[in-house]
């Protein structure tokens, strides 16, 4: 680890600055605030898991005080956001559409995404869309020998995804979470810049968006899951450093870059956040480990017998620190948010202030999930006793 004097501010202040840039220290409001949050973050990852409200809605709920899930549909209909691939499937600001063309051009030229292009099937899909208008994958006949899993899609679904990934199709809306596809020329606003960025422009864009939303980052973090972009990002960072646009510092034996023009008057908040596993702030686990000394793994893909916390554990953020995890499941029929497993860090002090902040966060999150109350299922004995005495047994 480098000496503190080499950092632009203390590690704790840098974490607070990152939280500030993530929109976690001050709420946005309304549909306009929802769009502003997406633009500030650069993307919001879409995920299909729905044991509680889906990840993309939770990420925005954490940043928009009165967030309503239908606002994403409205913003899509107004063509202010669009769906495409960031490091994963995501909602992106329409103002940055041209930067999606970098990947689309590569795929259209023959670069493989998940599977090889089936040009005959793609021609048939185009013809059906031309004849019938916007369609879902389920509007195509299913092959008898396919099971419909994402790794074994029927040919029509593969063709739709290939045409979507290479830019011929866009998602016009979602119908019960299924994508509805249409030709790009029918969806894209006429005033959108469709100039394909150069590799240098794309690298500069990735750097700018990452520093805007995270305050600082390494070349590896900035190019996270962006095929073949680490070297261009490194080269662009060096050019920007020479020009004085970015500066660097060393921490945890890594070289970090940041924008010296960034507002560094860091806000402070005592609010407690229950962060989604796919939240922009926590998606890069190595970053969490380096800056918050927190080792986190989502256990959705871990066999049940080997899970340490639970299937879908949220991270508990309080006063610039990750203090624990909470596995959750919404029983929508009963209207109860089940707190399947609460696990706090051993050194966390169970104060009245923390109890109050946790109660407020649980009330907001339960309501967001359409639940009228919550119930603690599992916790260490000390924590269970604290919940009973401090916040009334956790029944809302």
d(CA 201, CA 195): 11
What is each CA distance from 51 to 8, 59, 88, 114, 327, in whole angstroms?
41, 15, 20, 27, 10
For residues 49 and 89, membership in a common domain is answered with yes
What is the reported pLDDT for 20? 94
For residues 55 and 155, membership in a common domain is answered with yes
What is the reported pLDDT for 217? 97
Task: Please indicate, yes or no, if residue 378 is contained in any of the structural domains.
Answer: yes
Strands 373-376 and 336-344, bridge-based pairing = parallel
Domain final residue pick, 236, 258, 280 = 258
For residues 182 and 207, membership in a common domain is answered with no
Task: Please indicate, yes or no, if residue 280 is contained in any of the structural domains.
Answer: no
For residues 26 and 168, membership in a common domain is answered with yes
What is the reported pLDDT for 6? 78
What is the reported pLDDT for 392? 45
What is the reported pLDDT for 147? 53
Looking up residue 385, the CATH number of its domain turns out to be: 3.40.630
For residues 158 and 252, membership in a common domain is answered with no
What residues in the chain have per-residue pLDDT under 70?
1-5, 142-153, 389-396
What is the reported pLDDT for 3? 38
Task: Please indicate, yes or no, if residue 321 is contained in any of the structural domains.
Answer: yes
What is the reported pLDDT for 264? 73
Task: Please indicate, yes or no, if residue 131 is contained in any of the structural domains.
Answer: yes
For residues 125 and 150, membership in a common domain is answered with yes
Task: Please indicate, yes or no, if residue 6 is contained in any of the structural domains.
Answer: no
Domain interval for residue 315? 297-390
Domain final residue pick, 158, 187, 216 = 187
For residues 240 and 363, membership in a common domain is answered with no
* CA–CA–CA angle 206, 174, 283 (5° rounding): 35
Indicate whether this model's pTM tops 0.85: yes
For residues 47 and 183, membership in a common domain is answered with yes
Looking up residue 229, the CATH number of its domain turns out to be: 1.10.10
d(CA 173, CA 211): 30
Task: Please indicate, yes or no, if residue 334 is contained in any of the structural domains.
Answer: yes
What is the reported pLDDT for 4? 39
Domain final residue pick, 127, 155, 187 = 187
What is the reported pLDDT for 369? 97
For residues 60 and 143, membership in a common domain is answered with yes
Give the burial class of 195: count Cβ atoms within 10 A of its Cβ; 0-12 exposed, 13-18 middle, 19 or more buried.
exposed
Strands 313-318 and 321-331, bridge-based pairing = antiparallel
Task: Please indicate, yes or no, if residue 37 is contained in any of the structural domains.
Answer: yes
The number of folded domains in the chain is 3
Task: Please indicate, yes or no, if residue 116 is contained in any of the structural domains.
Answer: yes
């Amino acid at each position: 680890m480098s000496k503190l004097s080499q950092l632009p501010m203390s590690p704790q202040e840098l974490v607070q600055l990152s939280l500030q840039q993530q929109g976690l220290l001050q709420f946005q409001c309304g549909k306009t605030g929802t769009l502003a949050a997406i633009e500030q973050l650069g993307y919001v990852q879409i995920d299909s898991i729905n044991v509680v409200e889906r990840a993309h809605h939770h990420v925005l709920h954490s940043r928009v005080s009165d967030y309503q899930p239908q606002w994403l549909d409205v913003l899509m209909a107004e063509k202010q956001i669009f769906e495409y691939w960031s490091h994963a499937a995501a909602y992106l600001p329409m103002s940055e559409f041209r930067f999606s063309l970098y990947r689309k051009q590569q795929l259209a030229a023959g670069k493989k995404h998940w599977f090889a292009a089936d040009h005959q099937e793609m021609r048939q899909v185009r013809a059906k869309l031309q004849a019938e208008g916007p369609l879902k994958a389920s509007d195509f006949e299913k092959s008898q020998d396919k099971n419909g899993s994402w790794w074994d899609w029927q040919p029509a679904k593969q063709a739709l995804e290939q045409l979507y990934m290479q830019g011929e199709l866009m998602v016009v809306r979602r119908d019960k979470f299924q994508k509805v596809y249409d030709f790009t020329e029918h969806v894209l606003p006429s005033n959108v810049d469709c100039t394909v960025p150069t590799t240098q422009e794309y690298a500069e864009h990735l750097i700018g968006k990452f520093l805007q939303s995270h305050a600082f980052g390494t070349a590896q973090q900035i190019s996270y899951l962006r095929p073949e972009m680490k070297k261009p990002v490194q080269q662009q960072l060096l050019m920007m450093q020479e020009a004085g646009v970015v500066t660097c510092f060393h921490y945890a034996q890594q070289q970090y870059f940041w924008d010296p023009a960034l507002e560094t008057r860091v806000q402070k908040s005592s609010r407690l956040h229950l962060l989604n596993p796919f939240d922009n702030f926590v998606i890069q686990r190595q970053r969490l480990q380096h800056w918050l000394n927190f080792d986190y793994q989502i256990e959705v893909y871990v066999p049940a017998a080997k899970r340490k916390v639970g299937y879908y554990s949220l991270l508990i953020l309080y006063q610039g620190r990750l203090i624990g995890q909470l596995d959750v499941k919404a029983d929508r029929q009963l209207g109860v948010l089940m707190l399947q497993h609460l696990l706090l860090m051993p050194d966390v002090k169970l104060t009245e202030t923390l109890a109050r902040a946790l109660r407020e966060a649980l009330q907001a999150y339960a309501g967001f999930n359409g639940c009228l109350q919550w119930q603690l299922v599992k916790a260490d004995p000390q924590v269970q006793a604290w919940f009973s005495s401090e916040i009334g047994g956790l029944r809302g």
